[in-house]
Amino acid sequence: MVSALYAVLGALVLIKFSFDVVRLRTQYRVAYGDGGFSELQSAIRVHGNAVEYVPVGLILLLFMEMNGAETWMVHVCGILLIAGRLMHYYGFHHHLHRWRRSAISATWCSLLLMVLANLWYMPWELVFSLR
């Protein structure tokens, strides 16, 4: 399954962002919240934002593949999703608002494409079956 590749990449992205938060919490000795440290606040937001988008994106990607979407479509949507989250990370840490705007555009585009693909490839006869 092609979507498994993007599930692995998504998990690695989430692990990396989580490690960043833990490292900064340890460095600044902050157990809860951001302690007023902007670097920690940014890491928390980057991780939280990925947690908000990656899981639903991976679920849509898996269903898209299971519904019979073309392999190239799965790759395009998976790449857009992961690239969007990495661009967000880079833009957040380098204060590049254009990168962050591009990141959310890539993420939203991937989600919209996956929604449309799932609607297109969905086996409607099974959805409305009375059995």
Q: What is the pLDDT of residue 127?
A: 77
Q: What is the pLDDT of residue 123?
A: 86
Whether this prediction's pTM lies above 0.75 is answered by: yes
SS3 per-residue string spanning the chain: CCHHHHHHHHHHHHHHHHHHHHHHHHHHCCCCCCCCCHHHHHHHHHHHHHHHHHHHHHHHHHHHHHCCCCHHHHHHHHHHHHHHHHHHHHHHHCCCHHHHHHHHHHHHHHHHHHHHHHHHHCCHHHHCCCC
Whether the predicted pLDDT of 107 surpasses 90: yes
Domains in the chain (CATH in brackets) are 3-122 (1.20.120.550)
Counting residues of the chain whose pLDDT is more than 90, the rounded percentage is 86
Q: Amino acid letter at 30?
A: V
Paired tokens of 65? 């593949």
Whether the predicted pLDDT of 113 surpasses 80: yes
Q: What is the pLDDT of residue 99?
A: 92
Using one digit for the tens of pLDDT, what is the confidence trace for 23-55?
A: 999 999 999 998 999 999 999 999 999 999 999
Split at pLDDT 50, 70, 90, the class of 131 is: low
